[in-house]
Structure 1
């Protein structure tokens, strides 16, 4: 069933060298309310398409000087005209002409002499497709603008809030390192602890949001540099030790090698390690250890050497039914930490994206109540 159209909104170009055929088509279609323009030959038809921008062309095949097939061929090579549907008008009934017409981009054929009902059905069908295509294009453009606006908003929010939030985080860290629990009332100390923890979480969210938005917009450039991965991981662990100690969690580094050089975007991989260790602390229980291992292995699938980083915790783990949701952009899954820390779900998606941009892979294994291992691999040259 064709989409209902308003004939007054559409302009049809009739091209035929026989004036009686033009008059007949003008009468049949004009009576229905369509706007009709006409051309008596191929050259005039091309000019009318350019000047009038019709919504549909009814094109006679057999014309002197330039036949309908040549006109159609010229129309279809012009990007601005290629989408205009063409219905060939022909007295020909041989299959070769029909095949040639469709090869040139014809949308339909109508045989002479015209039957009013057939003509109107075929015309309305093509114009309903034009209408549907326009709706899709309009909605696609609206969606593109909405997504662009959303991404710009994310970027502005993250960028403009990141600097002041970094200052607040640093102030909170400094205050917490400067006071002893007994030097202020217990309730004040607990509020300061909460403010410090919240500032850490908000800063982490903004940092991830800014990087994620830049990555999705293609504005985050990948700048590979040689770096000792063991040293990089060790440096991140040192930064997180005070945060881990506040939850009575120990951080340990295990390595099968003293150093290993990889060629990666340093900031991206550092962000991956930070997110994985931060999550491990978030989901670990008091008086446990988060262990980060760095080891090399041969990948049997492609015969290449690679380095593996594994961040292990003995925390609450992830329910089996929730595990498929974790690295899935569509589900945007997140849970609360052992101290009710909130997450955005962006961190792991960002890690997955950054590792992939450095030709690696990210995966995890988890057992509810026993802990999780989050791993990523990077190729070695």
Structure 2
């Protein structure tokens, strides 16, 4: 199928110029629409947007600068390239054309070969821009469909996983001694899967803006200690230093912050190469700062933001910081509380993951 010819709107109040440009551009294979003033030009563009506007500057009632400004002010026509063609040849005139939104400027009297070359160039750029926009739109649509499918699958996984977890809770106390470790390991893996499912569902909710933190007073030292107690299988061979005041209370969603702490502590305990982890809860003027430090392989500075991206993952010396969603979830959860999160690390020197929470979750002033 032959693509439609590209269209050019030529605006000039001099009939001889219109006739000349009309004939020459048609010979080049373009579809040309000539108009003689700015008001007609604006109507023509809005009725049938062209691929390019070839615009004179000096016209009665409305000059070319004003026409271009109006086109650029309208989102429906702002992307149409405007090429000025004028007898005004001073630098100031050209600057005014570019300030109005023009992409190029040709001085009269013109050589048509120059006009044709510039028209061709800007039409090619226009076509490439459209192709890129269409490609991005297709990618966004595919990503949305993928996310919807993932959400449906994960949602359906939640019930059988919770049933498995309940079954393991029932079986664990009655398991024979020789099977106790096996049952405990299976239960831990199932709990990990349940947490991953919860992260996927909550990330989707956060991205859509439908998940809002349920704020209550949370004593962070008590919460951190309870999370650490639940990680006993990982703590057995690790020296954990816990530094915190007896009380450090913020307004937060207890469950969301619990899962942030769980992510950061689990990573640190798994990656501690020499068995040293430090957890610090520090009062600040506006709230609290939480630090989780390990002596693991560390992360190069250029990767510090990658690990917080959705499905971002960094692998160093066969040790992984973050699951596919763990740190992305942590970032979204902390930022939903108007806090900040980050990492201080260098390769071979361990890592300190940190986040801050305001005493009362509210936008920073």
Q: How does 1:293-312 map to 2 (within 5 A)?
A: 295-297=281-283, 304=285, 306-307=287-288, 309=290
Q: How does 1:2-151 map to 2 (within 5 A)?
A: 9-151=5-147
CA distance in 1, matches of 2:245, 2:290: 12
Instruction: Rate the CA distance shift 1:334–1:171 in 2: closer, same or farther, 3 A.
Output: farther
Q: Given that residues 333 and 345 in structure 1 are in contact (C-alpha distance below 8 angstroms), is that contact kept between their aligned partners in structure 2?
A: no
Q: How does 1:104-253 map to 2 (within 5 A)?
A: 104-181=100-177, 192=183, 195-238=186-229, 240=230, 244=232
Q: Given that residues 299 and 345 in structure 2 are in contact (C-alpha distance below 8 angstroms), is that contact kept between their aligned partners in structure 1?
A: no
Q: Given that residues 58 and 64 in structure 2 are in contact (C-alpha distance below 8 angstroms), is that contact kept between their aligned partners in structure 1?
A: yes
Once the two structures are TM-superposed, the CA of residue 58 in structure 1 deviates from its matched residue by 1.6
Q: Given that residues 154 and 213 in structure 1 are in contact (C-alpha distance below 8 angstroms), is that contact kept between their aligned partners in structure 2?
A: no
CA distance in 1, matches of 2:235, 2:243: 25
Once the two structures are TM-superposed, the CA of residue 353 in structure 1 deviates from its matched residue by 4.1
Once the two structures are TM-superposed, the CA of residue 169 in structure 1 deviates from its matched residue by 1.4
1:272 aligns with 2:260: yes
Once the two structures are TM-superposed, the CA of residue 123 in structure 1 deviates from its matched residue by 0.9
1:351 aligns with 2:330: yes
Cα deviation per residue 1:171-229 (whole Å; 9 max; x = unaligned)? 123212222235xxx6xx77655543432232222222223333344443234332222
Query: Could you state the TM-score of these two structures normalised by the residue count of structure 1?
Result: 0.75
Query: Could you state the TM-score of these two structures normalised by the residue count of structure 2?
Result: 0.78
Instruction: Rate the CA distance shift 1:67–1:252 in 2: closer, same or farther, 3 A.
Output: closer
In structure 1, the residue corresponding to 2:262 is in which secondary structure?
A: helix
Instruction: Rate the CA distance shift 1:201–1:335 in 2: closer, same or farther, 3 A.
Output: farther
Instruction: Rate the CA distance shift 1:251–1:318 in 2: closer, same or farther, 3 A.
Output: closer
Once the two structures are TM-superposed, the CA of residue 376 in structure 1 deviates from its matched residue by 4.5
CA distance in 2, matches of 1:204, 1:167: 14
1:319 aligns with 2:302: no
In structure 1, the residue corresponding to 2:314 is in which secondary structure?
A: coil
In structure 2, the residue corresponding to 1:344 is in which secondary structure?
A: coil
Q: How does 1:325-364 map to 2 (within 5 A)?
A: 325=303, 328-329=306-307, 332-333=313-314, 344-358=323-337, 359-361=339-341, 363=343
Once the two structures are TM-superposed, the CA of residue 237 in structure 1 deviates from its matched residue by 4.2
Runs of 5+ consecutive residues of structure 1 not aligned to the other structure: 1-5, 299-303
Q: Given that residues 295 and 309 in structure 1 are in contact (C-alpha distance below 8 angstroms), is that contact kept between their aligned partners in structure 2?
A: yes
Q: Given that residues 300 and 345 in structure 2 are in contact (C-alpha distance below 8 angstroms), is that contact kept between their aligned partners in structure 1?
A: no
Once the two structures are TM-superposed, the CA of residue 345 in structure 1 deviates from its matched residue by 4.5
In structure 2, the residue corresponding to 1:83 is in which secondary structure?
A: coil
Q: Given that residues 11 and 34 in structure 2 are in contact (C-alpha distance below 8 angstroms), is that contact kept between their aligned partners in structure 1?
A: yes
Q: Given that residues 249 and 284 in structure 1 are in contact (C-alpha distance below 8 angstroms), is that contact kept between their aligned partners in structure 2?
A: no
Larger Rg, first or second structure (1 or 2): 1
Q: Name the residue aligned to 1:263.
A: 251
CA distance in 2, matches of 1:345, 1:246: 20
Q: Given that residues 334 and 345 in structure 1 are in contact (C-alpha distance below 8 angstroms), is that contact kept between their aligned partners in structure 2?
A: no
Instruction: Rate the CA distance shift 1:124–1:174 in 2: closer, same or farther, 3 A.
Output: same
Q: Name the residue aligned to 1:301.
A: none
Q: Given that residues 257 and 294 in structure 1 are in contact (C-alpha distance below 8 angstroms), is that contact kept between their aligned partners in structure 2?
A: no
Q: Given that residues 14 and 38 in structure 1 are in contact (C-alpha distance below 8 angstroms), is that contact kept between their aligned partners in structure 2?
A: yes
The two structures, once aligned, show a CA RMSD in angstroms of 3.9
